[in-house]
């Protein structure tokens, strides 16, 4: 067996089919691969080839007889083939049928052997990625839209890791924004106060109040600007108040993250960037580039700008000069973002010291950038992924383009904007300023989901302990929220509706967890020791084969998702919904199997074989749920 086919049962059969077809039709392997597909109805075959259409065009013949001819030749060459059973033509389609018992037994053995590593491949071994998400302002609780970002970012990490990538998870903390100045002003006015709410919620509400005052009162505006200036001085009272506030807020926000199983390795703080010398170092390098210049005259005199007019996609910009550093020398957001992107790739020497932030529930410490602390070496990265909303497509593109203008072509090419649309309500988006997020914070949403789950758990487990029921309800709630966010195609807006978000029937996480729980239940009732001499050829039922086929596809589904991370001009798409629908389909096929194929009541030999299949299913769906960050539940 070829090495790269290890742990990927589907690929073994696929490669064999491709080889056979290429030989028989005398066509290149790569060409054949373009014309391989899975028939819409499994009755037609397990795998199909449409090469006849292609050859018909080349040879100016009708596709039907070409398919016929290939099929009749194929019949000869598969006579002694252990993997392929038969081949049929249906019109121009060449349909092949796998040897079912071979397919089922290879799949089940492979899964049971690799166990919790099933699905993992080493296709991208040696590659390192830095991923930034979700970069929520430390001034409010996460709302369900922020959580979409976080869940996408976290799942992307899991998926990359499953294919061999090494991943470093980064969060960005903007502790110098206007919102922070406003809140600092308010806190200093109020003095010390006992806070009973979760701190991020407390700040979020406070912020709505401040905003009202800010908009109405010029005097307040002036005072807040003064606070903003003082925040730059790390020894000021304002700065000390702010740092304390931001730290408490991020810790509160992370309580939400931890509930959802989301952890990080590092945080980059804006204040650390501002005082680290990173910006000056970046500026120096930028000015060496031909298209980064300091303007001497015109409206933007004194500014350091990037010239973008020679680039096609920006030719319609109102002004070809993108300001990186203002005439007073301060950096714009774009300027800072370019510098940060340079840092991420290690173009600039790391100017940061690192400080312990806190120990996460997964046991790993998270560190923040600072001006004092220890040195760290994050190392080189092959790719940088920024998980940011679709409205930022243009600014993100600018950053990468400017990186290219600086001469870092490769880094520019390997910069990825993982784009997703926002979550909103029926007629309004979420706004921190207007407070429209109130009632839709992730904490509130998860809690509501938990209440509903709890009702159901109570009904089904009246004799279980409070601890058990609470823990299961929590797992169902967080799983449901993650699935809800991942199952929507990222380039589609989500309109948040309680009825849909909390619908636990059908295409939703509890169904997946439930199928795992049922499989677990069956296995609990059989003797613990693994059977060794099991006759897998007994598994001939349609439902058993369909389930095996789905199980066999798992590693390939992950690989296809990673291959699908293709960069286009305005972002890199991450098809999170491909994996959720795979997982749902897998669970559906188990439910059908469960319904039609009794396991414990089957005759001895058949029973043993079915138990092995259930074992393989349980491993696969558990691994898939872990990949999606959905808690695996034994009983519910």
The piece of 17-25, 285-293, 364-372, 599-607 that touches RNA (CB under 7 A) is 599-607
CA distance 424 to 437: 9
Strand 365-370, strand 353-359: pairing: antiparallel
Pick between residue 248 and residue 393 the one whose CB is nearest to RNA.
393
Which strand (E) or helix (H) includes residue 129?
strand 128-132
CA distance 487 to 393: 22
Site map 262..301 versus RNA, x via CB under 7 A = -------------------------------------xxx
Residue 384 forms beta bridges with which residues? 130, 415
518 within 8 A of 597, measured Cβ to Cβ: no
CB of 86 to RNA, least distance (A): 14
Q: Quote the DSSP letter at residue 43.
A: G
Pick between residue 116 and residue 313 the one whose CB is nearest to RNA.
313
Q: Quote the DSSP letter at residue 42.
A: G
Is residue 595 part of the contact set for RNA (CB under 7 A)? yes
Q: Which of residues 88-117 bind RNA (CB under 7 A)?
A: 90-93, 95
Site map 445..484 versus RNA, x via CB under 7 A = --------x--xx--x-----------x---x--------
CB of 34 to RNA, least distance (A): 7
Q: How many CA atoms lie within 13 A of 97 on its CB side?
A: 17
Figure out which of the listed residues 81, 114, 211, 332 binds RNA, where binding follows CB under 7 A: 332
197: helix, strand or coil: coil
Pick between residue 88 and residue 350 the one whose CB is nearest to RNA.
88
Site map 502..531 versus RNA, x via CB under 7 A = -xxxxxx-xx--x--xx--xx--x------
Nearest to 355 by CA among 366, 344, 343: 366
Pick between residue 364 and residue 434 the one whose CB is nearest to RNA.
434
353 within 8 A of 373, measured Cβ to Cβ: yes
442: helix, strand or coil: helix
Other Cβ atoms less than 10 A from the Cβ of 532: the count is 6
Is residue 53 part of the contact set for RNA (CB under 7 A)? yes
Figure out which of the listed residues 123, 232, 382, 421 binds RNA, where binding follows CB under 7 A: 421
CB of 47 to RNA, least distance (A): 8
Pick between residue 218 and residue 595 the one whose CB is nearest to RNA.
595
Q: Using alpha carbons only, give the angle 153, 157, 158 rounded to the nearest 5 degrees.
A: 120
Provide CB contacts within 8 A for 457, sequence distance 6+: 469, 472, 473, 476, 636
Helix axes 554-563, 9-25, angle to 10 degrees: 70
Pick between residue 408 and residue 582 the one whose CB is nearest to RNA.
582
The piece of 5-13, 142-150, 160-168, 592-600 that touches RNA (CB under 7 A) is 592-600
Other Cβ atoms less than 10 A from the Cβ of 225: the count is 13
Pick between residue 93 and residue 437 the one whose CB is nearest to RNA.
93
Figure out which of the listed residues 599, 613, 619, 625 binds RNA, where binding follows CB under 7 A: 599
Q: Is 115 left (phi over 0), alpha (psi -120 to 50) or beta?
A: left
Pick between residue 288 and residue 499 the one whose CB is nearest to RNA.
499
Helix axes 542-552, 9-25, angle to 10 degrees: 90
Is residue 333 part of the contact set for RNA (CB under 7 A)? yes
Q: Which of residues 361-390 bind RNA (CB under 7 A)?
A: 390
Figure out which of the listed residues 488, 536, 552, 583 binds RNA, where binding follows CB under 7 A: 488
Pick between residue 491 and residue 605 the one whose CB is nearest to RNA.
491
Q: For 602, phi and psi rounded to 5 degrees? A: -75, 160
Nearest to 339 by CA among 282, 396, 301: 282
Is residue 493 part of the contact set for RNA (CB under 7 A)? yes
CB of 457 to RNA, least distance (A): 5
Q: Which of residues 531-550 bind RNA (CB under 7 A)?
A: none
Is residue 50 part of the contact set for RNA (CB under 7 A)? yes
Site map 161..190 versus RNA, x via CB under 7 A = ----------------xxx-----------
């Amino acid at each position: 067996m070829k090495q790269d086919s290890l742990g990927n049962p589907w690929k073994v059969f696929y490669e064999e089919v491709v080889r056979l077809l290429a030989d028989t039709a005398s066509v290149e392997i790569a060409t054949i691969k373009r014309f391989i597909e899975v028939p819409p109805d499994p009755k037609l075959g397990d795998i199909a080839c449409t090469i006849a259409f292609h050859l018909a065009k080349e040879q100016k013949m009708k596709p039907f007889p070409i398919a016929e001819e290939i099929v009749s030749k194929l019949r000869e060459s598969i006579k002694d083939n252990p993997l392929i059973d038969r081949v049929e033509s249906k019109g121009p389609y060449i349909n092949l049928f796998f040897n079912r018992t071979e397919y089922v037994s290879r799949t089940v053995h492979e899964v049971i052997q690799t166990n919790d590593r099933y699905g993992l491949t080493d296709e991208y071994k040696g590659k390192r990625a830095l991923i930034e998400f979700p970069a929520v302002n430390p001034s409010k609780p996460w709302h369900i839209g922020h959580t979409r970002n976080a869940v996408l970012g976290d799942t992307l990490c899991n998926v990359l890791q499953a294919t061999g990538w090494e991943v470093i998870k980064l969060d960005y903390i903007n502790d110098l924004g206007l919102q922070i100045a406003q809140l600092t002003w308010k806190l200093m006015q109020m003095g010390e106060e006992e806070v009973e709410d979760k701190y991020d919620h407390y700040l979020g509400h406070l912020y709505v109040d401040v905003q009202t005052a800010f908009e109405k009162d010029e005097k307040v505006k002036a005072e807040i600007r003064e606070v903003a200036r003082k925040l730059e001085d790390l020894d000021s009272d304002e700065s000390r108040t702010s740092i304390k506030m931001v730290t408490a807020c991020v810790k509160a926000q992370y309580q939400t993250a931890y509930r959802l199983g989301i952890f990080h390795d590092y945080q980059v703080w804006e204040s650390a960037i501002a005082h680290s010398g990173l910006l000056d170092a970046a500026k120096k390098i930028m000015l060496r580039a031909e298209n980064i210049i300091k303007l001497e005259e015109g409206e933007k005199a004194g500014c350091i700008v990037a010239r973008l007019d020679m680039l096609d996609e920006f030719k319609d910009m109102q002004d070809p000069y993108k300001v990186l550093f203002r005439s007073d020398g301060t950096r714009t957001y774009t300027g800072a973002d370019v510098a940060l992107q340079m840092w991420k790739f290690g173009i600039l020497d790391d100017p940061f010291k690192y400080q312990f932030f806190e120990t996460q529930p997964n046991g790993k410490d998270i560190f923040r950038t600072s001006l004092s602390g220890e040195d760290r070496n994050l190392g080189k990265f092959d790719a940088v992924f920024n998980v940011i909303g679709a409205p930022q497509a243009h600014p993100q593109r600018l950053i990468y383009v400017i990186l290219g203008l600086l001469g870092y072509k490769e880094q520019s090419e390997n910069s990825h904007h993982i784009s997703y649309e926002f979550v909103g309500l029926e007629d309004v988006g979420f706004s921190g300023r207007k407070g429209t997020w109130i009632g839709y914070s992730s904490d509130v949403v998860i809690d509501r989901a938990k209440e509903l789950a709890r009702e159901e758990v109570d009904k089904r487990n009246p004799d279980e302990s409070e601890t058990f029921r609470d823990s299961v309800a929590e797992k169902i709630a967080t799983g449901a929220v993650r699935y809800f966010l991942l199952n929507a195609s990222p380039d589609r807006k989500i309109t948040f509706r309680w009825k849909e978000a909390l619908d636990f029937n059908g295409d939703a996480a509890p169904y997946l967890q439930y199928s795992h729980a049922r499989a677990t239940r069956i296995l609990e009732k059989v003797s613990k020791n693994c059977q060794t001499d099991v006759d897998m050829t007994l598994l001939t039922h349609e439902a058993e084969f369909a389930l095996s086929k789905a199980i066999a596809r798992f590693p390939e589904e992950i690989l296809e998702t990673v291959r699908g991370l293709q960069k286009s001009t305005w972002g890199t798409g991450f098809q999170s919904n491909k994996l959720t629908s795979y997982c749902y389909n897998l669970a559906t096929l188990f439910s059908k199997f469960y319904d039609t194929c009794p396991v414990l009541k089957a005759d001895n030999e058949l029973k043993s074989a079915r138990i092995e299949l259930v074992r393989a299913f349980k491993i696969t769906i558990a691994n898939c749920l872990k990949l999606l960050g959905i808690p695996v539940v034994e009983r519910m």
